[in-house]
Structure 1
Amino acid sequence: MLRVVSTLRPLLRSPLLPGPKPLPRPRRPPRPFRALSSAAPLAASPPSAPSPAPGAVEFREEHLVRCAAARRAPLRVAVLLSGGVDSSVALRLLHAAGHSCTAFYLKIWFQEDFRNFWSECPWDDDLKYAQAVCDKIDVPLEVVHLSDEYWNHVVSHMINEYRNGRTPNPDVLCNTRIKFGAFLEAIENLGFDYIASGHYAHVVHPPFENAEGPSVLQLSKDEVKDQTYFLSHLSQPQLRRLLFPLGCITKDEVRSLAVQMDLPNQARKDSQGICFLGKVKFSEFVQRHIGEMKGILLEAETGDYLGMHRGFWFYTIGQRQGLRLSGGPWYVVEKDVQNNVVFVSRNYYSLDKRRRTFRVGSLNWFSDSGPSDNERLKCKVRHSPDFHDCTVTKEQTEENGDVLAVRLSEDDQGLAAGQFAAFYRDSACLGSGIILDSWDEMSFPVCAKALETARMEDKSKMGKPIRIMNLEHLVKPEPEPAKVA
């Protein structure tokens, strides 16, 4: 059973992250989808255990359904279903645990606005697979449009961040503002106990005798697939409403379960890339919404003019691909946003250019207090199974309010303003913040000549770029054989 819902559309009451006003959005003709109203209630059935359905599978290993059981059943659960393997297995585990489930497919602006721009529609296959998964166990599927919310609270923020030379994380924003933001608010009064998804994370809710205690976001069993980094900026009220059935199992077990369940999408590959882009390349997204503006590439150490670039917003700190320079490898090390100049270096990983200290603002903690001053924690500065040991110090600044000064125990060359840093105490995620523009004395050094060249108004006088050859790649002439006297 498939229904399309177009008016689950409450605006977020307040932005979860500070930012400029949403950008104007191209107008589209209204969609003739049926509205959700009192005459068209959601198919959330009464809290009774579902009857066996075709394709039902028994799970003899308790740990497979531990994160789906939530200590009591049945519950009414709204399940976010993408058409991929992970969310499909999550739905089946919740169903096997005895919960009454309704599946929701979130359709967002990008997937629809670009239907005529690219040759194929990115979401058609996803929706077909989602419907087929639901049909096997007779679970209703609702298609919900949150296009306006997505444009206002994710896309506009991303575009403005890129224009200001920062590197936002759309997956964190999508989780915070859309999946567990606008959607959670939309179904708030529809009788669901929890929202569930196929994220690799584990939420430990307080016991019944301490119902007012905080919920805790913990690492998943699969450390490589763990997605707590993407969930680290949620609020405590959001966290208290979530279930992640895959938090107690590994990706290999998920794939095995998909085969055991005979899921129609069991052979689908995992999606790679940003939450909303689908089959669209990131560079195409940036080009379409920000455009191109030619600028110069300068070597940070010498100020030498090396070539041209398409616009500083296409590049992030530590980036190697797309520079098209000979004699490399070259890395982006700094950006001059005002003058549209990108500084590059071949010595990005040299010891004298290390980065260990940075500051984090827009702090979000799952508990009121957050970490202690000078506490030793672990942190992630990107989605990765790797952690940094770090020490955090609380500071108060006039420009950014409460910030956290972070000192890593080892170098990290890829720190980029606008990205999130998530903090952990043992296996528990404490929360996260946004890496700020302001760097300390450890930032990558750009020479005076390079800075002066970047400020030149008429860069046409610079002549042709310097072509640097990598001497190791040159073929050395063979030595002449020694003459025998």
Structure 2
Amino acid sequence: MRVVAAMSGGVDSAVAAARMLDAGHDVVGVHLALSQSAATLRESARGCCTIEDAGDARRVADRLGIPFYVWDMAERFKRDVMEDFVAEYQAGRTPNPCLRCNESIKFAALLDKALALGFDAVATGHYAQIVERVSADGEVVRELHRAVDASKDQSYVLGVLDEDQLARAFFPLGDTTKPDIRAEAAERGFSIAKKPDSYDICFIADGDTRGWLTKRLGEQPGEVVDAVTGDVVGSHQGAYGFTIGQRRGLGLDRSSLDGDPRYVVGVEASSNRVLIGTQDLLGVDVLRADHARWCGTAPEGEVRVGAQVRAHGEEVPAFARVHADDPEVVHVRLDSRLRGVAPGQSVVLYDGTRVIGSATIAETSRAGVPA
């Protein structure tokens, strides 16, 4: 196959490209330029897509003897990921930009361009597995499964991929642990074998999400309100800077509170109010989610699933039911309550290690308690 290897400049994508080459594929390395003003150097392990990263990717490609290109997708990334991120926070929701990037950039824009240029598939350094099985009618079906290394598993952020995208995707690292990947990179002579992993939000290099949002949205003073009594107990400079489950930085007038800690239990974008309450108000076990993406055929009726609402969160046993009139809406009833679940987050559904699909949480509630 002719394969585009997405090369970020990190150790994972480097080894993924090398493994695709070892498997006999015709591989071309591509680095995605996603920043409109790429920094020269990374800030420790935060951020990505710097000029340094592009250089690291090119050096690996040269060592492998494969062609290498930089594809400028900064404008698409700004529109589909960064502007979506701002709009979601402004609407009082908590988005996951990694899922949006995988959906809109790596397996839409990148894959579409690769196919248009005559390539057959895209390979990335994500920790997940593609498992092939033969269906009852004799067709080969490709399923998305969790990685062997549970601590690095990234199947959650790949839950937005549909059946057609999975048919043209390769994840060569899914059967290997991270320490073994670093060891393999060193054996191959890659200078980036010990390069630190990037983490947090790639386009917020200093990790200050609230500060980054404030620069784009400006200060929007409002009230912090007790969710039970309705009393004003503090103030803030923008409701967009808060997310459900948050405890620190609430700007409370603690003289009017008892000694129990307070958490954000709601963000009202329309009134620019932040609602706070005690921990017992955080637990939810009923989710309504939309924008469902199925990694195969959508389930029918009520099915038993595992539900995960954070990239490295716990999987909770649950029942899921796709809306009878709209396959993009799914209702999930968790066996036990989870705290700090916010609209805008994604719920990814599993059958064992297999990813069934994902959806964006629109509403949360507690069984027997009005939403």
Give the equivalent residue in structure 2 for 1:238.
165
CA distance in 2, matches of 1:302, 1:98: 66
Give the equivalent residue in structure 2 for 1:112.
36
Give the equivalent residue in structure 1 for 2:286.
357
Opposite residue 367 of structure 1, the aligned amino acid is G
Q: Which has the larger radius of gyration?
A: 1
Query: How has the CA–CA distance of structure 1 residues 77 and 210 changed in structure 2, closer, same or farther, with 3 Å as cutoff?
Result: farther
CA distance in 1, matches of 2:216, 2:275: 24
1:164 CA drift (Å): 1.1
Give the equivalent residue in structure 1 for 2:7.
81
1:384 CA drift (Å): 1.3
Task: Provide the secondary structure at the position in 1 that maps to 2:240.
Answer: helix
CA contact (8 A) 1:206 1:214 kept: yes
Whether 1:138 and 2:62 are equivalent positions in the alignment is: no
CA contact (8 A) 2:32 2:49 kept: no
Equivalent positions of 1:68-467 (< 5 A) are 75-108=1-34, 111-113=35-37, 123-205=50-132, 212-279=139-206, 281-325=208-252, 329-345=261-277, 347-348=278-279, 350=280, 354-368=283-297, 370-384=298-312, 386-396=314-324, 403-437=329-363, 439=365
1:304 CA drift (Å): 3.6
Opposite residue 143 of structure 2, the aligned amino acid is V
Opposite residue 155 of structure 1, the aligned amino acid is M
Instruction: Give the TM-score taking structure 1 as reference length.
Output: 0.69
Opposite residue 13 of structure 2, the aligned amino acid is S
CA distance in 2, matches of 1:279, 1:125: 17
1:310 CA drift (Å): 1.9
Query: How has the CA–CA distance of structure 1 residues 207 and 395 changed in structure 2, closer, same or farther, with 3 Å as cutoff?
Result: closer
Identity of aligned residues (%): 32
**Structure 2 portions without partners, runs of 5+:** none
Opposite residue 362 of structure 1, the aligned amino acid is H
1:83 CA drift (Å): 0.7
Query: How has the CA–CA distance of structure 1 residues 338 and 107 changed in structure 2, closer, same or farther, with 3 Å as cutoff?
Result: same
1:174 CA drift (Å): 0.3
Please give the per-residue CA displacement for 1:316-368, whole angstroms capped at 9, x wherever unaligned. Answer: 111123325455643111122221111112x21x3x76311111112221223
Opposite residue 360 of structure 1, the aligned amino acid is A
Please give the per-residue CA displacement for 1:69-108, whole angstroms capped at 9, x wherever unaligned. Answer: xxxxxx3211000011111111122222232211100011
CA distance in 1, matches of 2:296, 2:78: 30
Task: Provide the secondary structure at the position in 1 that maps to 2:323.
Answer: strand
CA contact (8 A) 1:226 1:385 kept: no
Moved more, 305-314 or 151-160: 151-160
Opposite residue 319 of structure 1, the aligned amino acid is Q
1:149 CA drift (Å): 1.6
Opposite residue 419 of structure 1, the aligned amino acid is Q
Task: Provide the secondary structure at the position in 2 that maps to 1:246.
Answer: coil
CA contact (8 A) 2:15 2:181 kept: yes
Query: How has the CA–CA distance of structure 1 residues 122 and 291 changed in structure 2, closer, same or farther, with 3 Å as cutoff?
Result: farther
Task: Provide the secondary structure at the position in 2 that maps to 1:410.
Answer: strand
1:300 CA drift (Å): 2.2
Task: Provide the secondary structure at the position in 2 that maps to 1:356.
Answer: strand
1:121 CA drift (Å): 9.6
Task: Provide the secondary structure at the position in 2 that maps to 1:247.
Answer: coil
CA distance in 2, matches of 1:114, 1:126: 10
Query: How has the CA–CA distance of structure 1 residues 367 and 359 changed in structure 2, closer, same or farther, with 3 Å as cutoff?
Result: same
1:250 CA drift (Å): 1.1
1:277 CA drift (Å): 3.5
Between structures 1 and 2, the one with greater strand share: 2
1:157 CA drift (Å): 2.1
Task: Provide the secondary structure at the position in 1 that maps to 2:220.
Answer: coil
Please give the per-residue CA displacement for 1:267-292, whole angstroms capped at 9, x wherever unaligned. Answer: 21111112443456323331222222
1:230 CA drift (Å): 0.6
CA distance in 2, matches of 1:171, 1:99: 27
Opposite residue 361 of structure 1, the aligned amino acid is D
1:314 CA drift (Å): 0.9
1:210 CA drift (Å): 7.4
CA distance in 1, matches of 2:138, 2:61: 33
